[in-house]
A and B are shown apart, each in its own frame.
Chain A
Amino acid sequence: MNSAIDHLLADAPAQLLPARELMAFTLASHILLVPFGVALPAITLLMHYRGLRKGDAVALLLARRWSAVMAVQFAIGIVTGTVLSFELGLLWPGMMGRWGDVFGLGFGVEAWAFFLEAILIALYLYGWRRLRPWTHFWLGLPLPLAALMGAFGIVAANSWMNTPRGFTLDASGSPVDVDVRRAIFTPMFGPEYWHFVTGVVLTAGYVVAGVYAVGWLRGRRDRYHRLGFTVPFSVAAILTPVQFVLGDSIARSVFHEQPVKFAATEIVWKTDTHVPEYVFGRLHPDGTISGGIRIPQLDSILAGFSPDTKVTGLSSVPAGDRPTATQATIAHWAFDIMVTIGSLLVLLALWYGWCWLRRRDLPRSPWFFRCAAVAGGACLLTVECGWITTEVGRQPWIVYQNMRVAEAVTDTRASTLWTMLGIVVVLYVLVFAAFLTVLRRMSARWRLADESAPTAAGTADAAAAGDVEGDTPYGPRPLSPTGGGDGGPA
């Protein structure tokens, strides 16, 4: 068995590893921005609505500040996303050349949705000053829909790679008789889509709320921080139990549709009933498992609600058609970390819900806010873990059971790819560090301005002195050359 794997690794082209690392690194970086690209507009619009509806200046200020953050974040997301579409050709030309017309249409939907998103976000970000307040809000409102449409395209493409459908193979092994609808709505599409959408919205919610939880812990307990915490945290807390159910359901879909991937994420070696569940632990190439907590029968029960459920094991397929022991262990750990964090977040959400139901107030314990402060980071970790589970668990296939990663890879020399990886790592580290620095500077600047303007009169003076353009959004303003008379808050 070992020699079979060694033989396989020896067969793999030298450029496979750097190509994989490059794809993994750029995707792992981009995916950290995805929750904000998809969900930050929605959360901001929620706050915006509150501000307009109740005439709440604090809510409007929060919405404006989140817009300023969104402007930078969206731009970084665009460039890191564009890199990924280039990489589909630069790294995996074999996959796109053979399968592009079968599953590429999802990307087509995504591209147009993304175009719409770019237009709407420009209107929203640059509309604060001169558009009428409600016009501005309504122009922004389709943003979450465009984002959901974009996610539809991307997830359709990814779920097709997991459960490819909608074609037949001719004698030479090329896909013919393409059925686009079947290729988009594959068995894994539904579970993946809802799991993804819920995941990114709650991640964005926890990250944004975490910023204000930190402020709260540092003693900035004013209405601004309360509102900045409550709105995104409530969204995330409501979705957390929903996500728990969706996560459980997608695991069962994987069990039915991709049994070998399920075996990898649960490190099941031999096909059997009464299969135990391992919490963490490590799978060895000979099928033994070391470490971890063994819970008898549980895996069968989770997969089919009965200890008699038969679970397919890794050894049911030849070594060349399944993830290696190391890959299975990686997928298993990623899965377990995701489930652990998800369970802890459910507890946090329940804590919040309990206090809200009983007292209509935030929990008083600083431990709640400490947990809330790290929840965002933990959520980003689960996003990475979920992606690792689905991608590593699918190995060695790029198109499940139809094309190996090694067949899709470019024939560019390994040394070139390693060099490119080095350049890209340096570049991304710089870009992300600069991005975070800019965000921190913005926040520090705002805090400084807030704290140096303690009285209403002082604020007005400071605003007048610093307001180069001469007016503030949605406030009384002098007649503008373009649209005089567009008045105050509605």
Chain B
Amino acid sequence: MTEDVVAWVLLAVVAAYACAGGTDYGAGFWDLLAGGTERGKRPRWLIDHAMAPVWETNNVWLIFILVIMWTGFPVLFQTVFTAMWLPLALAAVGLVLRGAGFALRKPTQRLAGRRVYGAAFAVSSLLTPFFLGAAVGGLATGRVAPGTKASADAWSNGTSVIAGLLTVAATAFLGAVFLTADARRFDAADLVGYFRLRAWCSLGALAVLAVVGLAVTGDDARYVHDRLTGGIGLTLVLLAVVGALATAGLLYRTATGWARITAVGSVALVVVAWGLAQRPYLIPTSLTVSEAAGATTTLRWLLLVTAIAVVLVGPPLVLLYRLDTAGALQPLAEADLRRTAAGREPENT
């Protein structure tokens, strides 16, 4: 019973990371495709300004996923990190490149430096979600079981590749929707159309990939496939489709505030649908939630810690997003860091 609740918490955190982190990766994806220095100047300016205050927060969700995995389901953690060694190691390298590239680009003024940091940030924004998605896809196929050694087959099969590409497309979609909203917020009328078009394109790509995925997973990931194409799983997926279509329509009418909500909703619904489709397994069809669960006392404590955290972290998180969308958060400008005349007088001599 307790372990089921913890599994739900884990799924909720994964969904949160898919939405928050996904938006962030998506912004990096569009940074990559923004073109040369001159052509990409405006979109990159917007991406920088929109991402900066919240990117760290968006990415901390990943740490929770890891912590809940190893505290709540130690066997799951051990199995995943053993079998999916390479994609996860590459994702970790990508995380370093991405964070460092983004953080270092901002205070750098020389063009050459900005280009290098920007490239590191943008390329790893594409690769990191792909590898994370591929690892998740590999788990869904049932190729991995406790004790499985690392192998390329576990994450380079058809389902994995499709899952990786779907993840990238979903991040691109989220990123474009949020950047459309940000373009309105920063009064950049030209970029509203720019990112809206990209949101529609990524939705198209998602649709194509989903159809291909449907065909590929039929044989390759039977268990999850069946539960996504019938019953509650299908209902959620259809709801997600409705959400995605609604997003496209809302963007057409530039109702960007609502479009953000429907976009996040549809991605979260897909994640939840995938989680439900795996029930009662954490890894189909070899490791169930109750088999993987850690000590019951620990799980209870984990829930208690989570509850306290929701109370402590929730309000500041809401405050951060509210202040951010209200435009109250601005980076320090170069002029703020200059010394005014006061206090400049020398002391000795």
Contact = CB atoms under 8 A, between A and B. Distances in A.
Interface of A: 56-58, 61, 64-65, 67-68, 71-72, 74-76, 78-80, 82-83, 85-90, 93-94, 96-102, 104-105, 107-112, 114-116, 118-123, 125-131, 175-180, 221-224, 226-227, 410-412, 416, 420, 423-424, 427-428, 431, 434-435, 438, 441-442, 445-446, 449-450, 453-456, 459-460, 462-463, 466-469, 472-473, 481-483
Interface string B51-89: 011101101101110111011101101111110011011
A93 B348 contact: no
Given A126-B330, A223-B343, A463 B338 contact: yes
9 contacts: A57-B340, A86-B66, A89-B78, A119-B57, A125-B331, A126-B324, A131-B328, A221-B347, A411-B150
Contact of A123 (B64, B93, B96, B323): B323
Contact of A126 (B298, B308, B329): B329
A481 B107 CA distance: 26
Contact of B337 (A438, A446, A469): A446
A175 B74 CA distance: 12
B188 interface: no
Interface string B309-332: 100110011011001101111111
Contact of A462 (B71, B337, B338, B347): B338
Given A101-B298, A112-B313, A434-B100, A57 B342 contact: yes
Given A67-B332, A89-B70, 4 more contacts: A79-B98, A82-B99, A119-B317, A221-B348
Given A96-B77, A107-B67, A79 B337 contact: no
B107 A68 contact: yes
Interface string B141-166: 00000000110000000000000000
B341 interface: yes
Nearest to B68: A108
Contacts of B343: 56-58, 61, 222-224, 227
Interface of B: 52-54, 56-57, 59-60, 62-64, 66-68, 70-72, 74-75, 77-82, 85-86, 88-89, 91-93, 95-100, 102-104, 106-109, 113, 117, 149-150, 294-295, 297-299, 301-302, 305-306, 308-309, 312-313, 316-317, 319-320, 323-324, 326-349
B46 to A, nearest CB: 16
Nearest to A122: B53
B349 A224 contact: no
A226 B294 contact: no
A79 B98 CA distance: 9
A420 B90 CA distance: 9
B337 A68 contact: yes
A450 B346 CA distance: 13
A450 to B, nearest CB: 4
B100 A99 contact: no
Contacts of A78: 56, 59-60, 99
Contact of A90 (B92, B301, B329, B336): B92
Given A75-B56, A90-B89, A441-B108, A97 B100 contact: no
Nearest to A131: B328
Q: Which of B96, B100, B338 has its CB near the most chain A CB atoms (within 10 A)?
A: B338
Given A79-B96, A115-B60, A467-B333, A72 B104 contact: yes
B150 A118 contact: no
Contacts of B344: 222-224, 450, 454
Nearest to B321: A119
Contacts of B92: 82-83, 86-87, 90
Contacts, number: 317
Contacts of B78: 89, 93-94, 96-97, 100
Contact of A89 (B88, B334, B340): B88
B104 A435 contact: yes
B329 A122 contact: yes
Contacts of B63: 82, 85, 111, 114-115
Nearest to A469: B333
A241 B323 CA distance: 43
Contact of A468 (B81, B329, B335): B335
A178 B320 contact: no
Contacts of B327: 130, 481-482
Given A94-B78, A221-B349, A105 B301 contact: yes
Contacts of B113: 434
Given A68-B332, A467-B333, A100 B70 contact: yes
Contacts of B93: 423-424, 427
A97 B54 contact: no
B56 A121 contact: yes
A140 B301 CA distance: 29
Contact of B57 (A118, A130, A424): A118
A126 B341 contact: no
B336 A472 contact: yes
A130 B316 CA distance: 17
Given A410-B82, A441-B109, A104 B336 contact: no
A116 B313 contact: yes
B70 A88 contact: yes
B81 A93 contact: yes
B259 to A, nearest CB: 22
B107 A438 contact: yes
A65 B333 CA distance: 11
Contacts of A466: 334-335, 338
A467 B340 CA distance: 13
Contact of B347 (A121, A223, A434): A223
Contacts of A108: 67-68, 71, 302, 305-306
Nearest to B81: A89
Contacts of B302: 105, 108
A100 B71 contact: yes
B56 A102 contact: no
A175 B98 CA distance: 39
The 7 closest A-B pairs by CB, nearest first: A101-B294, A89-B81, A97-B78, A100-B74, A104-B71, A75-B103, A58-B343
Contact of B56 (A111, A118, A449, A481): A118
Contacts of B347: 221-223, 226
Contact of A97 (B75, B150, B336): B75
A57 to B, nearest CB: 4
Contact of B100 (A75, A86, A454): A75
Contacts of A120: 316
B298 A79 contact: no
Nearest to A442: B107
Contact of A427 (B52, B77, B97, B324): B97
A473 B305 contact: no
Nearest to A180: B301
B50 to A, nearest CB: 12
Nearest to B110: A441
Contacts of A482: 326-328
A424 B99 CA distance: 15
A97 B59 contact: no
A333 B225 CA distance: 59
A347 B107 CA distance: 38
Contacts of A93: 77-78, 81-82
Contacts of B103: 71-72, 75-76
A460 B88 CA distance: 52
A83 B95 CA distance: 8
B338 to A, nearest CB: 5
